[in-house]
Structure 1
Amino acid sequence: MKKIISTTFVFLGLLFANLVSAQEISKQQMIAFQSDNVDTFKAAFPKDNYNKCFAIKESSYSLLSLSVKHDKKNILEYLLNNEADLNKECGNQTPLMVAARYGKLDFAKLLLKKGANKNTKNEKGETAKEFAVQYNHPEMTSILK
Protein backbone atom coordinates (compact mmCIF):
# COMPACT_ATOMS: atom_id res chain seq x y z
CA MET A 1 0.00 0.00 0.00
CA LYS A 2 2.87 2.37 0.82
CA LYS A 3 4.35 1.72 -2.64
CA ILE A 4 1.10 2.70 -4.33
CA ILE A 5 0.82 5.90 -2.31
CA SER A 6 4.50 6.75 -2.91
CA THR A 7 4.21 6.07 -6.62
CA THR A 8 1.09 8.22 -6.82
CA PHE A 9 2.84 11.14 -5.10
CA VAL A 10 5.88 10.83 -7.36
CA PHE A 11 3.69 10.77 -10.46
CA LEU A 12 1.65 13.78 -9.30
CA GLY A 13 4.84 15.62 -8.42
CA LEU A 14 6.29 15.02 -11.88
CA LEU A 15 3.04 16.07 -13.54
CA PHE A 16 2.90 19.25 -11.46
CA ALA A 17 6.57 20.04 -12.16
CA ASN A 18 5.99 19.59 -15.88
CA LEU A 19 3.02 21.96 -15.88
CA VAL A 20 4.80 24.54 -13.71
CA SER A 21 7.77 24.60 -16.11
CA ALA A 22 5.48 24.99 -19.12
CA GLN A 23 4.97 28.44 -20.56
CA GLU A 24 1.44 29.73 -21.13
CA ILE A 25 0.42 30.17 -24.76
CA SER A 26 -1.39 33.43 -25.46
CA LYS A 27 -4.66 33.68 -27.35
CA GLN A 28 -2.87 35.58 -30.12
CA GLN A 29 -0.23 32.84 -30.38
CA MET A 30 -2.91 30.15 -30.52
CA ILE A 31 -4.71 31.97 -33.33
CA ALA A 32 -1.43 32.27 -35.23
CA PHE A 33 -0.72 28.60 -34.66
CA GLN A 34 -4.21 27.52 -35.77
CA SER A 35 -3.78 29.42 -39.06
CA ASP A 36 -1.06 26.97 -40.19
CA ASN A 37 0.51 29.95 -41.95
CA VAL A 38 4.28 29.98 -41.48
CA ASP A 39 4.67 33.77 -41.70
CA THR A 40 1.93 34.33 -39.11
CA PHE A 41 3.48 31.62 -36.92
CA LYS A 42 6.97 33.18 -37.15
CA ALA A 43 5.58 36.57 -36.14
CA ALA A 44 3.91 35.10 -33.03
CA PHE A 45 6.66 32.72 -31.87
CA PRO A 46 10.30 33.75 -31.52
CA LYS A 47 12.78 31.03 -32.50
CA ASP A 48 13.78 30.45 -28.85
CA ASN A 49 10.20 29.20 -28.25
CA TYR A 50 10.50 26.33 -30.73
CA ASN A 51 11.71 23.88 -28.07
CA LYS A 52 9.73 25.08 -25.07
CA CYS A 53 6.78 23.36 -23.45
CA PHE A 54 3.46 25.22 -23.59
CA ALA A 55 0.65 24.65 -21.10
CA ILE A 56 -2.59 23.69 -22.83
CA LYS A 57 -5.42 22.76 -20.46
CA GLU A 58 -4.15 19.97 -18.17
CA SER A 59 -1.05 19.07 -20.17
CA SER A 60 1.88 20.64 -21.94
CA TYR A 61 3.10 20.33 -25.51
CA SER A 62 6.04 21.41 -27.60
CA LEU A 63 5.13 23.33 -30.75
CA LEU A 64 6.12 20.28 -32.77
CA SER A 65 3.75 18.09 -30.74
CA LEU A 66 0.94 20.64 -31.11
CA SER A 67 1.53 20.68 -34.87
CA VAL A 68 1.09 16.93 -34.97
CA LYS A 69 -1.96 16.86 -32.71
CA HIS A 70 -3.77 19.61 -34.65
CA ASP A 71 -2.72 18.61 -38.20
CA LYS A 72 -0.66 21.75 -38.85
CA LYS A 73 1.58 20.36 -41.59
CA ASN A 74 3.02 23.70 -42.74
CA ILE A 75 4.13 24.61 -39.24
CA LEU A 76 5.41 21.08 -38.61
CA GLU A 77 7.59 21.17 -41.73
CA TYR A 78 8.84 24.64 -40.85
CA LEU A 79 9.78 23.54 -37.33
CA LEU A 80 11.49 20.40 -38.63
CA ASN A 81 13.63 22.57 -40.91
CA ASN A 82 14.42 25.08 -38.15
CA GLU A 83 16.02 23.07 -35.36
CA ALA A 84 12.97 21.95 -33.42
CA ASP A 85 13.88 19.07 -31.12
CA LEU A 86 12.33 15.91 -32.60
CA ASN A 87 12.47 14.12 -29.25
CA LYS A 88 11.44 16.97 -26.93
CA GLU A 89 9.25 15.57 -24.18
CA CYS A 90 6.46 17.76 -22.87
CA GLY A 91 3.51 16.41 -20.94
CA ASN A 92 5.23 13.01 -20.82
CA GLN A 93 5.06 12.68 -24.64
CA THR A 94 7.42 13.29 -27.54
CA PRO A 95 6.05 14.47 -30.90
CA LEU A 96 6.26 10.87 -32.18
CA MET A 97 4.27 9.65 -29.17
CA VAL A 98 1.61 12.29 -29.94
CA ALA A 99 1.47 11.07 -33.55
CA ALA A 100 1.12 7.48 -32.33
CA ARG A 101 -1.56 8.39 -29.80
CA TYR A 102 -3.72 10.26 -32.32
CA GLY A 103 -3.02 7.95 -35.27
CA LYS A 104 -1.29 10.63 -37.36
CA LEU A 105 0.51 8.20 -39.67
CA ASP A 106 1.82 10.77 -42.20
CA PHE A 107 3.20 12.92 -39.40
CA ALA A 108 4.85 9.90 -37.76
CA LYS A 109 6.49 8.90 -41.05
CA LEU A 110 7.81 12.44 -41.50
CA LEU A 111 9.15 12.57 -37.94
CA LEU A 112 10.87 9.20 -38.38
CA LYS A 113 12.34 10.28 -41.73
CA LYS A 114 13.77 13.39 -40.06
CA GLY A 115 15.34 11.28 -37.31
CA ALA A 116 12.84 10.99 -34.43
CA ASN A 117 13.85 8.22 -32.06
CA LYS A 118 11.11 5.57 -31.96
CA ASN A 119 12.77 3.95 -28.93
CA THR A 120 12.59 7.02 -26.68
CA LYS A 121 10.81 6.23 -23.42
CA ASN A 122 8.82 8.71 -21.37
CA GLU A 123 8.87 8.91 -17.56
CA LYS A 124 6.52 5.91 -17.37
CA GLY A 125 8.81 3.86 -19.64
CA GLU A 126 6.39 4.01 -22.59
CA THR A 127 7.48 4.24 -26.23
CA ALA A 128 5.58 5.61 -29.22
CA LYS A 129 4.76 2.03 -30.24
CA GLU A 130 3.06 1.46 -26.88
CA PHE A 131 0.92 4.56 -27.46
CA ALA A 132 -0.08 3.18 -30.88
CA VAL A 133 -1.05 -0.15 -29.32
CA GLN A 134 -2.90 1.48 -26.41
CA TYR A 135 -4.93 3.76 -28.70
CA ASN A 136 -5.58 0.99 -31.26
CA HIS A 137 -3.67 2.24 -34.31
CA PRO A 138 -2.40 -1.00 -35.90
CA GLU A 139 -0.87 0.61 -39.00
CA MET A 140 1.04 3.00 -36.75
CA THR A 141 2.16 0.08 -34.61
CA SER A 142 3.62 -1.64 -37.67
CA ILE A 143 5.79 1.34 -38.69
CA LEU A 144 7.08 1.70 -35.12
CA LYS A 145 8.43 -1.87 -34.86
Structure 2
Amino acid sequence: MKTLFFTILLVVSTYASAQEINSDIKSVLETDNVTELKKQITSKNINSCFKLEESEYTLLTLSIKLNAKSCFAELIAQNASVEKTCNNKTPFMYAAKYNRLAMAKDLVKAGVQIRVRNSDKQSALDFAKKYESKEIIEYIKSFNQ
Protein backbone atom coordinates (compact mmCIF):
# COMPACT_ATOMS: atom_id res chain seq x y z
CA MET A 1 0.00 0.00 0.00
CA LYS A 2 2.89 2.36 0.80
CA THR A 3 4.42 1.74 -2.62
CA LEU A 4 1.13 2.53 -4.35
CA PHE A 5 0.74 5.72 -2.32
CA PHE A 6 4.26 6.93 -3.17
CA THR A 7 3.82 6.06 -6.83
CA ILE A 8 0.61 8.08 -7.01
CA LEU A 9 2.25 10.95 -5.12
CA LEU A 10 5.18 10.94 -7.55
CA VAL A 11 2.90 11.03 -10.60
CA VAL A 12 0.76 13.82 -9.15
CA SER A 13 3.78 15.90 -8.15
CA THR A 14 5.29 15.50 -11.62
CA TYR A 15 2.17 16.86 -13.29
CA ALA A 16 1.65 19.50 -10.64
CA SER A 17 5.18 20.85 -11.13
CA ALA A 18 4.57 21.91 -14.72
CA GLN A 19 2.68 25.12 -15.14
CA GLU A 20 0.51 26.21 -18.02
CA ILE A 21 2.36 28.49 -20.42
CA ASN A 22 0.84 31.93 -20.43
CA SER A 23 -0.48 33.33 -23.68
CA ASP A 24 2.05 36.20 -23.71
CA ILE A 25 5.06 33.88 -23.67
CA LYS A 26 3.46 31.57 -26.21
CA SER A 27 2.76 34.52 -28.53
CA VAL A 28 6.32 35.82 -28.13
CA LEU A 29 7.73 32.46 -29.21
CA GLU A 30 5.23 31.99 -32.04
CA THR A 31 6.19 35.37 -33.50
CA ASP A 32 9.90 35.01 -32.60
CA ASN A 33 9.80 38.38 -30.85
CA VAL A 34 13.09 38.50 -28.96
CA THR A 35 12.47 42.01 -27.59
CA GLU A 36 9.32 40.86 -25.82
CA LEU A 37 10.97 37.59 -24.79
CA LYS A 38 13.62 39.54 -22.86
CA LYS A 39 10.79 41.13 -20.86
CA GLN A 40 9.24 37.73 -20.11
CA ILE A 41 12.35 35.76 -19.10
CA THR A 42 13.00 35.44 -15.38
CA SER A 43 15.38 33.32 -13.37
CA LYS A 44 12.33 31.37 -12.19
CA ASN A 45 10.87 30.56 -15.61
CA ILE A 46 13.86 30.23 -17.93
CA ASN A 47 14.23 26.52 -17.14
CA SER A 48 10.70 25.67 -16.05
CA CYS A 49 8.57 23.06 -17.75
CA PHE A 50 5.40 24.52 -19.24
CA LYS A 51 2.34 22.57 -20.31
CA LEU A 52 1.18 23.06 -23.87
CA GLU A 53 -1.13 20.73 -25.79
CA GLU A 54 -0.68 17.66 -23.59
CA SER A 55 3.12 17.99 -23.53
CA GLU A 56 5.67 19.90 -21.51
CA TYR A 57 8.39 22.18 -22.84
CA THR A 58 11.03 24.55 -21.54
CA LEU A 59 11.19 27.92 -23.24
CA LEU A 60 14.25 26.64 -25.11
CA THR A 61 12.57 23.46 -26.36
CA LEU A 62 9.46 25.41 -27.32
CA SER A 63 11.62 27.83 -29.33
CA ILE A 64 13.03 24.79 -31.15
CA LYS A 65 9.59 23.32 -31.81
CA LEU A 66 8.29 26.67 -33.13
CA ASN A 67 11.53 27.41 -35.04
CA ALA A 68 11.83 30.73 -33.19
CA LYS A 69 15.47 31.31 -34.14
CA SER A 70 15.96 34.72 -32.51
CA CYS A 71 14.30 33.62 -29.27
CA PHE A 72 16.37 30.42 -29.31
CA ALA A 73 19.59 32.45 -29.64
CA GLU A 74 18.52 34.76 -26.81
CA LEU A 75 17.70 31.85 -24.52
CA ILE A 76 21.13 30.33 -25.21
CA ALA A 77 22.72 33.75 -24.50
CA GLN A 78 20.73 33.93 -21.23
CA ASN A 79 22.18 30.52 -20.23
CA ALA A 80 18.99 28.50 -20.49
CA SER A 81 19.78 24.91 -19.62
CA VAL A 82 20.69 22.90 -22.71
CA GLU A 83 20.20 19.68 -20.73
CA LYS A 84 16.84 20.31 -19.03
CA THR A 85 14.41 17.48 -19.72
CA CYS A 86 10.69 18.03 -20.03
CA ASN A 87 8.36 15.46 -21.56
CA ASN A 88 11.28 13.00 -21.44
CA LYS A 89 13.20 14.95 -24.12
CA THR A 90 16.21 17.24 -23.99
CA PRO A 91 16.56 20.30 -26.23
CA PHE A 92 18.95 18.33 -28.46
CA MET A 93 16.30 15.62 -28.88
CA TYR A 94 13.79 18.27 -29.96
CA ALA A 95 16.31 19.68 -32.44
CA ALA A 96 16.70 16.15 -33.82
CA LYS A 97 12.95 15.56 -33.93
CA TYR A 98 12.25 18.80 -35.82
CA ASN A 99 15.39 18.63 -37.99
CA ARG A 100 16.78 21.95 -36.73
CA LEU A 101 20.41 21.52 -37.76
CA ALA A 102 21.57 25.07 -36.99
CA MET A 103 19.97 24.87 -33.55
CA ALA A 104 21.53 21.46 -32.95
CA LYS A 105 24.95 22.90 -33.78
CA ASP A 106 24.36 25.83 -31.42
CA LEU A 107 23.36 23.41 -28.66
CA VAL A 108 26.60 21.50 -29.20
CA LYS A 109 28.57 24.78 -28.99
CA ALA A 110 26.73 25.50 -25.74
CA GLY A 111 27.97 22.20 -24.31
CA VAL A 112 25.09 19.80 -24.82
CA GLN A 113 25.74 16.11 -24.20
CA ILE A 114 25.15 14.51 -27.61
CA ARG A 115 24.77 10.91 -26.50
CA VAL A 116 22.41 11.42 -23.55
CA ARG A 117 19.53 8.96 -23.35
CA ASN A 118 16.15 9.57 -21.78
CA SER A 119 14.38 7.25 -19.35
CA ASP A 120 13.13 5.22 -22.33
CA LYS A 121 16.77 4.74 -23.43
CA GLN A 122 16.22 6.96 -26.51
CA SER A 123 18.89 9.32 -27.79
CA ALA A 124 18.73 12.30 -30.13
CA LEU A 125 19.89 9.98 -32.89
CA ASP A 126 16.88 7.75 -32.22
CA PHE A 127 14.55 10.76 -32.58
CA ALA A 128 16.33 11.87 -35.76
CA LYS A 129 15.85 8.40 -37.25
CA LYS A 130 12.21 8.16 -36.14
CA TYR A 131 11.34 11.52 -37.71
CA GLU A 132 13.64 11.03 -40.72
CA SER A 133 15.75 14.09 -39.95
CA LYS A 134 18.50 13.19 -42.38
CA GLU A 135 20.72 16.25 -41.75
CA ILE A 136 20.69 15.62 -38.00
CA ILE A 137 21.42 11.92 -38.48
CA GLU A 138 24.53 12.78 -40.50
CA TYR A 139 25.55 15.47 -38.04
CA ILE A 140 25.30 13.17 -35.02
CA LYS A 141 27.07 10.36 -36.86
CA SER A 142 29.96 12.74 -37.65
CA PHE A 143 30.82 12.69 -33.93
CA ASN A 144 31.28 8.91 -34.00
CA GLN A 145 34.13 9.06 -36.50
The SS at the match of 1:140 is: helix
Structure 1 residues 27 and 18, CA gap change in structure 2 (3 angstroms): same
Matches within 5 A, 1:10-21: 18-21=14-17
- Quote the offset at 1:138 in angstroms: 2.2
Distance in 2 (alpha carbons) for counterparts of 1:110 and 1:14:
34
Q: Please tell me the residue identity of whatever aligns with 1:25.
A: I
In the alignment, is residue 142 of structure 1 matched against residue 138 of structure 2?
yes
- Once the two structures are superposed, residues 97-116 of structure 1 have per-residue CA deviations (whole angstroms, 9 ceiling, x without a partner) of 00101111111111112211
Q: 1:92: which partner in 2?
A: 88
Identity of aligned residues (%): 35
TM-score by length of 1: 0.83
CA contact (8 A) 1:100 1:137 kept: yes
Please give the root-mean-square deviation of Cα atoms over the aligned residues, in Å. Answer: 2.1
Distance in 1 (alpha carbons) for counterparts of 2:13 and 2:131:
26
Distance in 2 (alpha carbons) for counterparts of 1:62 and 1:18:
15
Structure 1 residues 16 and 65, CA gap change in structure 2 (3 angstroms): farther
Aligned residues: 135
Consecutive unaligned residues of structure 2, counting only runs of 5 or more, are: 1-6
Matches within 5 A, 1:115-130: 115-130=111-126
- Once the two structures are superposed, residues 3-42 of structure 1 have per-residue CA deviations (whole angstroms, 9 ceiling, x without a partner) of xxxxxxx8xx987654332111111221122231222112
Consecutive unaligned residues of structure 1, counting only runs of 5 or more, are: 1-9
Following superposition, which runs of at least 4 residues in structure 1 exceed 3 angstroms of deviation? 13-19
TM-score by length of 2: 0.83
Q: Please tell me the residue identity of whatever aligns with 2:25.
A: Q
